[in-house]
Structure 1
Amino acid sequence: MRLPGLILIVFATLVPVIWFAPLAGERDAVALFSQYLGSSALILMGINQFLATRVAGLETIFGSLDRIYVLHKWLGVTALVLMGLHDIIDAEMNGLRGGPLAGIAEDIGEVSLYGLLILILASAITFIPYHLWKWTHRFIGIFFAMGAFHFFFIEKPFSNFEPLGLYISVFCILGLASYVWISVVRPMAPRGHAYVVQSVKRLGSVTDVVLSPKSRGMRHKPGQFAFLSFKGSGLSEEHPFTLSDAPTGDRTLRFSIKDLGNYTHRLGKHLKVGEEATVSGPHGHFTLPSGTAPQVWVGAGIGITPFLAFAESLKNRKSGPVKLYYCVRDTGDIPYAVELEKLAESLPDLELIIVNSAEGVRLTPERVIDDLGGRLSEAHVFFCGPVAMRKALKSGLILKGLKASRFHFEEFEMRTGIGLGHLSAWIWDTGMYQFEKRQAQKAQPAE
């Protein structure tokens, strides 16, 4: 994620302090703080809805799209925490006049909070099938709209037409407009490049798909990914996949898709030559640097796909020595070994090293350092694979002298958990607190 984007988000949530601070001398400071937390949650949710649009320019400000997905997840979690605190800390103030919809707005705010709680929790439970998660994820926009309704009509110490009200309203409108764009406008006029399936091959548990353009086609760089959908065979759902070949003059595209879930299993089973496809993109900044510094490429399992494109691109560019580590689990899990071996034979600067864990071999930072022959500080390391392996390799290499800025990686899993143990405990504690609070209020005698 890029620092300018993070600074903009933090700045957006701090700006309301300019207007909230003067109110603290006139109103209950605790209740006012609770209202600030709720307002900040709406600001973050509005930004998050906008990030989901994938409009041009987002990657320039916030970083590559795979990083934006990570940011999207944590903004949602942060907004949820702020909403929970807003609900726990009493925001009611004396002397406020509510409109005719104030009571309804308060109830709708409760529905919004718990609806978002459930949906964000569902996002963190990664064993829920992707298509079910994606379908339920659409309702986040509806619950955000409820939250915006809550803000517009709830009792508060400022009006919607004062600077503070207008500022927060801008983010509410941004989020609502983004939701309408994603849910209504974009499906009616889908963007993307029209392609047709040229070939489909099964390589073990991998489906290798080559697409040819119906018109101009899409330009891309080695290492980028795109969103892919097909018109037929029940495969119209859009999914991101890495492009596994270097750019060609005729703009054909190749995808190497691992059978990892319901959609990819159906794709490998039912996709046929001649079917129409839509490709949207390209996205991502996982691309090769210029220069002749030594490079280390590490592809684990299907994480080898961007390095297929990297290796193919070496035919038409100058580079320094490249060591490609292809990490696999057993001898039957090496679908691209022959292709890479042929490329390594024809490219003097490319060395292919297959690391097979079934043979008791592991790729360690020490192994990489030894193979580089003392040139670690000069090298660029590119990694695509499981998170645990990436973290271990990165920390070990940085401790030995690699510059952190020279360790490049792609978010191999865009949908990840958020620590369900801690989240579940927080949800339980929050729910029990609210339940006990309401029971105590009901037990109080009416005045």
Structure 2
Amino acid sequence: MRLIGFILVFIASTLPLLWYWPLLLSSDPIAIFSQYLGSTALILMGTNQFIATRMPGLEFVFGPLDRVYVLHKWLGITAMVCLGLHDIIDAEIDGLRGGPLSGIAEDIGEVGLYGLLILTIASVITFIPYHLWKWSHRLIGIFFFFGAFHFFFIEKPFSNLEPLGLYISSFCIIGILSYLWMAVLRPAARLGHAYQVASVRHLGDLTEVILHPQGQGLRHEPGQFAFLSVNAVGLSEEHPFTLSAAQTQDRALRFSIKELGDYSRRLRRELKVGMSARITGPYGRFTMPKGSGPQVWIGAGVGITPFLAFTESLKTRESGHVKLYYCVREHGDIPYARELEEIAMKADNLELIIINSNEGVRLSAERIVDDLSGRLSQAHVFFCGPVEMRKGLKRELVLEGLPVGRFHFEEFELRTGVGLKRLAIWLWNYGAQEYEKRRPKQASPAE
């Protein structure tokens, strides 16, 4: 996330303190603090609804879209913490006069609170199937509307027309309009570029799709991703996939999609040549730097897809020497190995190294350091693959002397949890250890 984005979110959520501070001195401070928490929740949720629109300029302010999705998750969690505390801490102030809808607003606020709590929990439980999560996620905007209604008509020590009321109301309106745009107007507007499926090929558990534009087409940089929507029953929902080929003169696109969920499995079964599709994007900043310094590209499994586009782009752009590590499990069935080998044979500055874990070979920071012959501090390292592998390599390479800013990656999974699985495992292990400590020891036969 870009620093400017973090600063803007921080200012937006703390600015109401300028107006709440005098109220803290003149009214019940605990109730005023509770109302501030409720206001902060609405500000963060309104911001989150706007971020979800993927409007142009968001990546400039908040960073690449994969980081924006991480921000989206944590803003939602923070908002729910604030909302939960607002519900627990009494926000009622004696002497306030409620309007005719204040009682209804109170009840609707409760419905919105529990609805948002349930959906937020569902969002961070990653074992819930994607299509069910996606369907339930759409309801968040409805419960946010309930929260905004609660704010508009509930009893409070200021009116909606005062500066504080207008400020919070603006975020409520932005959030509602953003939700309407995503749920109703955007699907009807059919934004994006029209394409037609020209080729479908199965490579192991990958489905390679080539699409030809039905108009101007999409321009993209190697390493970016786009959202694919096929005009067919069950395939029309937008899903993000990496563009696995560099831009061509006719702006044809290639996706290499691994079977990871219901949608990708349905694509493999049902996608046919001739189907029409819409592509929106491109997104992401996972692109090659300029310069003559050494580069290390690490693609693990389906994480090789952005580097397919990288290698093709070497034909038309200058670059320092590149070491491409392709980490796989099965040597006999490696998608795109032959394609990469042919490119490497023609490109003097590309060296392809296949790392096969089934042969007992693992990629390590020590191996990379040795291969670079002491030039690690001058290199740029690009990684696409499993999160744990990325964290381990980054940590070790930084300790070996790689500047942190020269390790580039994109979030491999746009939908991530909050560590609940690790927490559950830790609690289970801790409980088992405590049980073993306290369990009475049985005497041995010799005793």
Q: SS at 1:316's partner residue?
A: coil
Q: SS at 2:173's partner residue?
A: helix
Q: Which residue of 2 aligns with 1:339?
A: 339
Q: Distance in 2 between matches of 1:327 and 1:243?
A: 19
Q: Which residue of 1 aligns with 2:172?
A: 172
User: Aligned AA for 2:166?
Assistant: L
Q: Distance in 2 between matches of 1:160 and 1:106?
A: 16
Give matches, 1:8-87, under 5 Å: 8-87=8-87
Q: Which residue of 2 aligns with 1:251?
A: 251
Distance 1:262 1:183, change over 3 A: same
Give matches, 1:6-405, under 5 Å: 6-232=6-232, 234-405=234-405
Q: Distance in 2 between matches of 1:340 and 1:135?
A: 39
Q: Distance in 2 between matches of 1:57 and 1:360?
A: 46
Q: SS at 1:374's partner residue?
A: coil
Q: Which residue of 2 aligns with 1:441?
A: none
Deviation at 1:235, TM superposition (A): 1.2
User: Aligned AA for 1:159?
Assistant: S
User: Aligned AA for 1:255?
Assistant: F
Q: Distance in 1 between matches of 2:324 and 2:295?
A: 8
- CA offset digits 1:268-296 (Å, max 9, x no partner): 11111111111111111100000111000
Q: Is the 8 A contact 1:301 1:333 kept in 2?
A: no
User: Aligned AA for 2:285?
Assistant: H
Q: SS at 2:302's partner residue?
A: helix
- CA offset digits 1:369-426 (Å, max 9, x no partner): 11111001100000011111111111111111111111100111000111336999xx
Deviation at 1:106, TM superposition (A): 1.4
User: Aligned AA for 1:84?
Assistant: G
Distance 1:289 1:162, change over 3 A: same
User: Aligned AA for 1:188?
Assistant: A
Q: Distance in 1 between matches of 2:298 and 2:171?
A: 41
Deviation at 1:339, TM superposition (A): 0.8
Q: SS at 1:25's partner residue?
A: helix
Deviation at 1:193, TM superposition (A): 0.5
Q: Distance in 2 between matches of 1:313 and 1:296?
A: 15
Normalised by the size of structure 1, how large is the TM-score? 0.93
Q: Is the 8 A contact 1:312 1:343 kept in 2?
A: yes
Task: Name the count of aligned residue pairs.
Answer: 424
- CA offset digits 1:323-354 (Å, max 9, x no partner): 00111122245111111111111111111111
Identity of paired residues, percent? 69
Superposition RMSD in Å: 1.2
Q: SS at 2:229's partner residue?
A: strand
Q: SS at 1:352's partner residue?
A: strand
Q: Distance in 1 between matches of 2:230 and 2:356?
A: 35
Distance 1:329 1:116, change over 3 A: same
Q: Distance in 2 between matches of 1:204 and 1:64?
A: 30
Distance 1:256 1:369, change over 3 A: same
Q: SS at 2:228's partner residue?
A: strand
Q: Distance in 2 between matches of 1:18 and 1:272?
A: 59
Q: Is the 8 A contact 1:295 1:322 kept in 2?
A: yes
Q: SS at 2:315's partner residue?
A: helix
User: Aligned AA for 1:337?
Assistant: A
Q: Distance in 1 between matches of 2:389 and 2:421?
A: 23
Q: SS at 2:314's partner residue?
A: helix
Q: Which residue of 2 aligns with 1:435?
A: none
User: Aligned AA for 2:212?
Assistant: S
Q: Is the 8 A contact 1:233 1:271 kept in 2?
A: no
Q: Distance in 2 between matches of 1:281 and 1:368?
A: 34
Distance 1:93 1:233, change over 3 A: closer
Q: Distance in 2 between matches of 1:76 and 1:155?
A: 25
Q: Distance in 1 between matches of 2:234 and 2:104?
A: 42
Q: Which residue of 2 aligns with 1:412?
A: 412
Deviation at 1:128, TM superposition (A): 1.6
Q: Distance in 1 between matches of 2:385 and 2:113?
A: 35
Q: Which residue of 2 aligns with 1:431?
A: none
Q: Distance in 2 between matches of 1:333 and 1:365?
A: 26
Q: SS at 1:277's partner residue?
A: strand
Q: Is the 8 A contact 1:233 1:270 kept in 2?
A: no
- CA offset digits 1:298-346 (Å, max 9, x no partner): 1110000000000000011111110001111222451111111111111
Judge which range, 202-211 or 353-362, deviates more.
353-362
- CA offset digits 1:76-115 (Å, max 9, x no partner): 0000011011111111111111112112111111111110
User: Aligned AA for 2:245?
Assistant: D
User: Aligned AA for 1:249?
Assistant: Q
Q: Is the 8 A contact 1:222 1:245 kept in 2?
A: yes
- CA offset digits 1:45-104 (Å, max 9, x no partner): 000000001111111101111111111011000000110111111111111111121121
Q: SS at 1:290's partner residue?
A: coil
Q: SS at 2:327's partner residue?
A: strand
User: Aligned AA for 1:289?
Assistant: P
Normalised by the size of structure 2, how large is the TM-score? 0.93
Q: SS at 1:246's partner residue?
A: coil
